[in-house]
Chains A and B, each alone.
Chain A
Amino acid sequence: MPVFKTPFNGYSVKFSPFHESRLAVATAQNFGILGNGRLHVLSLPPAPASPLTELISFDTADGVYDLAWSESHDSLLIAGVADGSVKLYDTALPPAQNPLRSLQEHTREVHSVDYNPTRRDSFITASWDDTIKLWTLDRPASIRTFKEHAYCVYSAAWNPRHTDVFASASGDCTVRIWDVREPGSTMIIPGHDFEILCCDWNKYDDCIIATASVDKSIRVWDVRSFRAPISVLNGHGYAVRKVKFSPHHRNLMVSCSYDMSVCMWDFMVEDALVGRYDHHTEFAVGVDMSVLVDGLMASTGWDELVYVWQHGTDPRAP
């Protein structure tokens, strides 16, 4: 299946919600510790054997930790940069005319960006400055800042059904559920005993959320009764970096970890680990599933490689 070699260490990969053969990758030099960043827009080849082709790339003065495709414009990308800025790119424009905007409000690394899938005019960013910020495309400044977490916020994700609800995962070992119409967080889930690096909502059940933690586990929660997780998924050997529910199957989710593997899980069955992919040779830190093509997955890692493959096949197969 197609592979792409990035000059820097991969940090995040996302499929376009508009073009089934397009995806974007966020990268950072020197493992994101110091140096530049680059955003690549890639295209899947018509034949699976050929490599991924780069449509365009954009450079930044610091590592790009995450990106999100706009749900309203097919060419608009939002990047979360380690220097604390949030940058908007129009991939239809040459690099010289990009970024369209650089929103400099976070005081520390921006670690995650999520575009509102239901309202389509807003997005949230989560930062190591302990805050989450809400932005809309039509404003040059953030609309709101959510500051309750006591440590880095690693991830924030919109609820797929309720336009005003999102969840945030933090190194303070909690997940918070927020309603942007409310002054404070609606719910605090002390989800793990170690830092929580990622959270994602089930796309079919708006009450179910998954958390990925440094404690190597993924936990699945029902926000209506969060004293105990619905399910605990063990199998990763190191901290779990990202978790993402399938857009096509209610019970499936994919995760990637510092143990260098990408795993597919079915959280409703006893043997939850459905598949494990060991194709990366460094930390696997970015993973995504295509909304447009059932079973199409992409991953990236610090081995500077981007893989795209169909679930069930070998990502390294030619």
Chain B
Amino acid sequence: MAMRELVTGGAACAVPGSSSSSNPFGALANALIGSSSKTQERLKEIPSSTTTATEPPFYQDATAEGRLRGLPGAEFDHSFSHHPTPQGSEFLRGFRTADQNGLADAWDEIQRSGPPPPPPALLDHRIPPPQLQPTLDGPPQRVLSNFLHSFVGTSHGGIPFRPSPLPVLGLSEGDKQCIRDRSSIMARHFFADKSEDFINAQVNALLSSLDIDGDMRAKGPLPGRFRELEDYWNESQGALRPGPPQADGWVAEFSQHRIDHGDPNAWAHSFEQQHGANGWASEFEQEQRLVSAADQMGGANISNLAAREQTRMLAHTLAQNNDPKFQNSKFLQFVSKMSRGELIIDDNQVKPAALSSPGDWATEYQQQYTGGPSWADEYARDQLSHGPDQWAKEFATEREQSGPVDDQWVNEFSKLHVDDWADEFGRQVGEGAFGDGSADSWADAYDEYLNEQVVAKQKSDASRGVYVFSDMNPYVGHPNPLKEGQELFRKGLLSEAVLALEAEVLKNPDNAEGWRLLGIAHAENDDDQQAIAAMMRAHEADPTNLEVLLALGVSHTNELEQAAALKYLYGWLRHHQKYGTLATPELSDSLYYADVARLFNEAAQMSPEDADVHIVLGVLYNLSREYDKAIASFQTALKLKPQDYSLWNKLGATQANSVQSADAILAYQQALDLKPNYVRAWANMGISYANQVFTSASLFTAPSLVPSLASGMYEDSIRYYVRALAMNPKADNAWQYLRISLSCASRNDMLGACDSRNLDLIMLMGECMVLLTPRITAFGALAEGYPDFGKNLHGQEVGKSNMVYWS
């Protein structure tokens, strides 16, 4: 120990604050002595909350290089040997801190996707330098740092900033890429309110004042906008990322041509040679760069004007925020000054980054295509297929139309372009243009994503109260669809009842009862969105119908839409002849949960024998997630109304949501005893059954304790979901949860069928599953006891999503 202390010198040899204060002797000692037995003991110590090392020489008491020896392959096992293993040198290379000589090299490494740094530079880092300046004195860092901060500093004194140090900055390509990428990603966080154009202008202003091209491939664009397409093309090019290697190639080539004063035709030819016909997208990207570069050469005046415009916009934004804190923010001043600096730089080559937005490329392409006779024609002639041209044109047109409306892009895009694009993609794949299957899976994922977006859109439409009618309705023209619908509903043939009731409300749009029953049928059929839409129509037809108001409150609670739920529950109270006096009209303007809950508690005190009030209270407590209180309310209501099957279901759902799955199943049992065809109760029971796997109600939980039992439970739940879907194939939730249960039960073979929503196939495979696990549940047997059940239009039964619903 003493020797180690002596040799390593403990903290005394280390220069506080200096990073690489490595002591070669200490390193040697470590290598020789290795770990001590003391360190092993330390490892076994139970961590306590006591402070073991608060003294400033923090690591001195830890004579314990080997404390983490338990980590196989830990680098310091090797790093100080004179012949470092690859791992060891990796470690050293990674730790390059404030080494002044190597800083620039280290920064080069930051250019991650770029070519590897030259090997000689790395040699410098194999052995850390013994002593360092405490300050970072490397040419780039010092100057840049001083530049940035004096920049900020001078702003306070109102001294005009002279960006004279700029030319000597000598930022490496890696640095520039860092600044470009990071500032554009961060700018999208700072300026979320602003348009895409503004953000681009902002970033470009900053970049060009630092003499950085903005048009290299940066990770800047808004999420998902065009990246999928670009990735796809890059993948087809065999490149992992939009690649600087390509760009470098281009740069080299470009400079050659620039020297030659090469005409556009010449470089167009060399592009073809370099990339082949299939690489049109990457060619285009590069062409776009060329175009912008050409612009820089020819149109410097135009760029200057653009830059001034950008600065004006920036100043405008900053002026908008009156918060003194923001006016004083060094960072925002930094951004602002940077962009203003651009106006001053006029003596060295300004490289305006006017085209950095990838979103502009298509437009640019189009302009170039129509306006530029030389390369575009060349290009078009050489492309056998006109698909890409067409696509790009359409894309550009759409881009012009949609402009900066960011949140619309997915819809716009999916509506207008995916087909064309997907065709194009399919054609390319068919031709074997891409060897690997990754493109395929990517395309699937992308389609899936778009579908989700579309579905989500549809849902949000429905939630706004737009009722979506079925396409084919055999009951249209039926003499008395309402009566038929009531009859079907009574029999529990819910999907049929929905059709009949839709026919009724098509015939009599003002029939509140028709809409109400339709809403209830949807709710019991596990479609709250449609239920809400129908109930809202019923509400329009009869604004004071208490049942409608209560149903709307419940449905909105199911959808976790608290404000809407409160509105309708309050409406119920206000229109109730007995409790209407409790409701004060001014309250309806701003409904708070606490107020509404208070009113209903008062109502419950007024007439404790009114089950309806207790039901509403139960719903309210669900809204606030006070499940114990909710259960108590429903139980009180059930004492008054023991025959209400939907009430039993509500109780069960509440119990399930508060992680009492076993109790929940008993409650659902009661509901089903009263109404054997109650789809939602069946569905909920399936869920609770699946949830019994878990100690909590979480659905994706690990079946870690008893894997075989868990897997059996999952398979049971799968059967319920399948039954639900058979009865109502439109239940999106059920599809989603079916998929989860399938993967949890390791039925990956069925996932494909699930994704394609092929219920027949799933049921076929499900037969095998049941045979494999002969676990006929009591509930399954019960279902078979009711011949009506499972013989609706589609032939079968039940299941439901995981957050248990009630109606």
Q: What residues of chain A have their CB less than 8 Å away from a CB belonging to chain B?
A: 18-22, 29-36, 38, 41, 43, 53-62, 73-76, 82-85, 87-88, 90-102, 104, 107-109, 128, 137-140, 148, 150-152, 161-165, 170-173, 177, 179, 181-183, 186-188, 190, 193-195, 197, 206-207, 214-216, 222-225, 227-230, 237-239, 241, 258, 260, 268, 270, 278, 281-283, 292, 302-303
Check B54–A53 contact: CB distance below 8 A.
yes
13 interchain pairs, CB-CB under 8 A: A21-B54, A33-B183, A60-B95, A61-B97, A93-B64, A100-B68, A102-B91, A190-B452, A195-B188, A214-B192, A223-B700, A228-B559, A281-B329
**A97-B76, A140-B87 known; A20-B68 Cβ under 8 A:** no
What separation, in Å, do the CA atoms of A152 and B80 have in the docked complex? 37
Decide if B699 is an interface residue (CB 8 Å cutoff). Answer: yes
User: Which residues of B are found within 8 Å of A171, using beta-carbon distances?
Assistant: 185, 188, 223
- Cα–Cα distance between A50 and B801 once the two chains are bound (Å): 55
Contact A179 B700 (CB under 8 A): yes
Binary contact track B1-41/A, C-beta < 8 Å → 1, others 0: 00000001001001001011111001100100000000000
Known contacts A34-B179, A100-B71, A230-B560, A18 near B97 by CB under 8 Å: no
- State whether A96 and B14 are in contact (beta carbons under 8 Å apart), knowing that A36-B98, A76-B68, A193-B407 are contacts in the complex: yes
Question: Does B263 belong to the interface (CB within 8 Å)?
Answer: no
B561 to chain A, nearest CB (A): 6
Given contact pairs A31-B334, A94-B11, A97-B65, A57 touches B227 in the complex (Cβ within 8 A): no
Whether B22 contacts A93 by the Cβ 8 Å rule is no
**Out of A75, A83, A186, which one reaches B67, CB within 8 Å?**
A75
Residues of A within 8 A of B51 (CB): 19-22, 43
Q: Which residues of B contact A104 (CB under 8 A)?
A: 90, 94
CA distance A252 to B112 in the complex (A): 40
Listed from nearest, the 4 A-B pairs whose CB atoms lie closest are A102-B94, A59-B19, A92-B62, A96-B22
Inter-chain contacts of B17 with A (CB < 8 A)? 57
Stretch in B140-148, B276-284, B638-646 with 4+ CB within 8 Å of A: B140-148
Residue in chain A with minimal CB distance to B192: A214
Instruction: Identify which of B42-50, B154-162, B540-548, B578-586 touches chain A.
Output: B42-50
Given A43-B51, A101-B71, A165-B700, 14 more pairs with CB closer than 8 A: A33-B178, A34-B144, A36-B141, A53-B56, A62-B106, A93-B64, A95-B21, A102-B94, A104-B94, A170-B223, A171-B185, A214-B189, A215-B192, A223-B699
Residues of A within 8 A of B223 (CB): 150-152, 170-173, 195
Q: How many chain-B residues does the 8 Å CB contact rule pick out?
A: 117
A162 touches B560 (CB 8 A): no
Total cross-chain contacts (CB, 8 A): 301
Chain B proximity of A5: nearest CB distance (Å):
13
Across-interface contacts of B701 in A (CB, < 8 A): 162, 165, 206
By beta carbon, the residue of chain A nearest B55 is A55
Whether, in the assembled complex, B496 has its beta carbon less than 8 Å from a beta carbon of chain A, the answer is no
- Taking a contact as CB atoms under 8 Å apart, the answer to whether A195 and B67 are in contact is no
**Would you give the shortest CB distance from A90 to chain B, in whole angstroms?**
5
Q: Which residues from B are CB-within-8-Å of A224?
A: 697-699, 801-803
Measured between alpha carbons, how far is A93 from B558 in the docked complex, in Å?
55
| B559 contacts A227, C-beta separation under 8 Å | yes
Q: Residue A91 contacts which of B59, B91, B103 (CB distance < 8 angstroms)?
A: B59
Q: Once the chains are docked, how many angstroms separate the CA of A206 from the CA of B742?
A: 21
In the complex, residue of chain B having the shortest beta-carbon distance to the beta carbon of A224? B803
| Interface residues of A, dominant DSSP | loop
Which of B48, B144, B704 contacts A35, CB < 8 Å?
B144
- Please state if A214 and B188 are interface contacts (CB–CB under 8 Å): yes
Cβ contacts B742-762/A at 8 Å (1 or 0 each): 010000100000000000000
**With an 8 A cutoff between CB atoms, is B777 at the interface?**
no
Residues B698 and A207 in contact, CB atoms below 8 Å apart: yes
Please name all residues of chain A whose beta carbon is closer than 8 Å to the beta carbon of B61 when the two chains form the complex.
92
Q: Which residue of A lies closest to B529 (CB)?
A: A227
Contact A227 B459 (CB under 8 A): yes
With a CB–CB cut-off of 8 A, which chain B residues contact A109? Answer: 182
Closest to B56 in A: A53
**Residues of chain A contacted by B700 (CB below 8 angstroms):** 162, 165, 177, 179, 186-187, 223
B residues in contact with A56, CB < 8 Å: 58-59
Q: A152 contacts which of B144, B219, B696 (Cβ < 8 Å)?
A: B219
In the assembled complex, B301 has its CB within 8 A of some CB on chain A: no
* Whole-angstrom distance between the Cβ of B179 and the nearest chain A Cβ: 5
CA distance A102 to B699 in the complex (A): 36
Are A31 and B331 closer than 8 Å at their CB atoms? yes
Cβ–Cβ < 8 Å partners of B48 in chain A? 18
B75→A100 contact, CB < 8 A: yes
CB-CB under 8 A from B181, the residues of chain A are: 108, 128
Contact partners of A161 in chain B: CB under 8 A: 696, 698
Check if B186 is an interface residue, CB within 8 A of chain A: yes
Residue from the list B22, B72, B91, B561 in contact with A99, Cβ < 8 A: B91
Q: How far is the CA of A161 from the CA of B705 in the complex (A)?
A: 13
**Is the pair B189, A195 in contact by a Cβ cutoff of 8 Å?**
yes
Complex CA distance for A76 and B192, rounded to whole angstroms: 37
Most buried by A among B47, B452, B736: B47
**Given A91-B58, A101-B91, A152-B185, A163-B702 contact (CB < 8 Å):** yes
- Say yes or no: B58 contacts A41, CB within 8 Å: yes
B23 to chain A, nearest CB (A): 6
Partner of B190, one of A32, A85, A186, A239: A239
**Which B residues are in CB contact (< 8 Å) with A59?**
19-20, 97-98
> How distant is the Cα of A2 from the Cα of B325 in the complex, in angstroms?
22
Report the separation of the CA atoms of residues A182 and B241 in the bound assembly, to the nearest whole angstrom.
26
Out of B23, B68, B740, which one reaches A73, CB within 8 Å? Answer: B68
Nearest opposing residue in chain A for B321, CB measure = A237
- Name the one of A41, A102, A181, A258 contacting B75, with C-beta atoms under 8 angstroms: A102
Give the distance in Å from the alpha carbon of A97 to the alpha carbon of B145 in the complex: 28
* Contact A92–B67 (Cβ < 8 Å): yes
Q: Does B330 contact A (CB under 8 A)?
A: yes
Q: Does B393 reach chain A (CB closer than 8 Å)?
A: no
**Residue numbers in A under 8 Å from B558 (CB-CB):** 225
Q: How far is the CA of A179 from the CA of B740 in the complex (A)?
A: 10
* Shortest Cβ gap from A211 to chain B (Å): 14
Q: Is the CB of A268 within 8 A of B58?
A: no
Cβ B90 vs Cβ A102 within 8 A: yes
Which residue of the partner chain, among B95, B107, B334, B559, contacts A98 with CB atoms under 8 Å? B95
| Residue of B with least CB distance to A92 | B62
Interface string of B117-148 (1 = CB under 8 A from A): 00000000000100000001000010011001
Shortest distance from the beta carbon of B442 to any chain A beta carbon, whole Å: 10
User: Quick one: CB contact mask for B389-412 with A, threshold 8 Å, 1 for yes?
Assistant: 000000000000000000100000
B215 near A: Cβ within 8 Å? no
Contact with A along B683-727 (1 / 0, CB 8 A): 000000000000011111110100000000000000000000000
Residue of A nearest to B132 (CB): A59
With A and B bound together, what is the CA distance between A186 and B345 in angstroms?
Answer: 52
**Given A33-B179, A43-B51, A140-B73, are A270 and B592 also a contact pair (CB < 8 Å)?**
yes
